[in-house]
């Protein structure tokens, strides 16, 4: 009985440790393109290789378009905040 209980508890702990989320940092360009196919623009994954001046190690960062650039509503708010009353940028 103890053996079965121990086995079930061990299986529960192992199941908790399994991470099923994709590792975008390890994906190639083609794999990312396949993953992004059919997704809305805000949910697509974009990656960039961050070149830090204090380190020789390049770090690749991946996130959704919305997380990186913000939503359309946030962009619209920035446009309102940056506008100058009475000035039109179009001549």
Evaluate whether residue 52 is within a structural domain: yes
Burial status of residue 88 (CB atoms within 10 A of its CB: 0-12, 13-18, 19 or more): exposed
Evaluate whether residue 14 is within a structural domain: no
Q: What is the pLDDT of residue 80?
A: 52
Evaluate whether residue 49 is within a structural domain: yes
Which residues of the chain have a pLDDT value below 50?
89, 91
Q: What is the pLDDT of residue 31?
A: 92
What tens digit of pLDDT does each residue of 24-37 get?
A: 888 988 999 999 99
Q: What is the pLDDT of residue 85?
A: 58
Evaluate whether residue 73 is within a structural domain: yes
Long-range contacts (CB closer than 8 Å, 24 or more residues apart) made by 39-45: 41/65, 42/66, 42/71
Evaluate whether residue 11 is within a structural domain: no
Q: What is the pLDDT of residue 88?
A: 52
Q: Alpha carbon 67 to chain centroid distance?
A: 7
Evaluate whether residue 86 is within a structural domain: no
Evaluate whether residue 4 is within a structural domain: no
Evaluate whether residue 42 is within a structural domain: yes
User: What is the tally of structural domains in the chain?
Assistant: 1
pTM: 0.54
- Its domain, for residue 56, covers 22-78
Dist. CA 57–CA 33, nearest whole Å: 25
């Amino acid at each position: 009985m103890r053996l079965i209980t121990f086995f079930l508890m061990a299986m529960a702990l192992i199941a908790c440790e399994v991470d099923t989320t994709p590792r975008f940092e390890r994906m190639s360009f083609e794999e990312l393109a396949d993953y992004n196919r059919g997704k809305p623009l805000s949910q697509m994954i974009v990656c960039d290789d961050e070149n830090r001046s204090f380190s020789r190690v390049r770090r690749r960062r991946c996130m959704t378009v919305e997380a990186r650039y913000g939503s359309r509503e946030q962009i619209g708010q920035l446009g309102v905040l940056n506008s100058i009353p009475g000035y039109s940028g179009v001549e």
